[in-house]
Amino acid sequence: MALNLSKQGLVGVVLMLVGALAFLPGLAPSSGQVATIALLPAALLLTYGTYLVGTDGGGRPV
């Protein structure tokens, strides 16, 4: 299964991975204030990465 992603899509995939990994410290029950505050940038990275991957490619959706 080939994804055929352009540069925009690859950047989106990387941002999604970084955003998902940034969520991990905030999921611990004993996470501190810094980990809790880091959830907002993590959510933004994940959202923007998803947007980039979703808008990659042209033509009709299959």
Of the pLDDT bands very low, low, confident and very high (cuts 50, 70, 90), residue 36 is confident
pTM (predicted TM-score): 0.79
Cα 57 from Cα 60, distance rounded (Å): 9
> Rounded to an integer, what distance in angstroms lies between the CA atom of residue 43 and that of residue 2?
27
What does the pLDDT average to over 30-53?
91
Distances (CA, A) of 36 to 7, 16, 30: 31, 19, 10
Residue 60 — very low, low, confident or very high, per pLDDT cuts 50/70/90?
low
Tell me the mean pLDDT in the region 8-28: 91
Smallest Cα–Cα separation from 14: which of 54, 60, 52, 43? 52
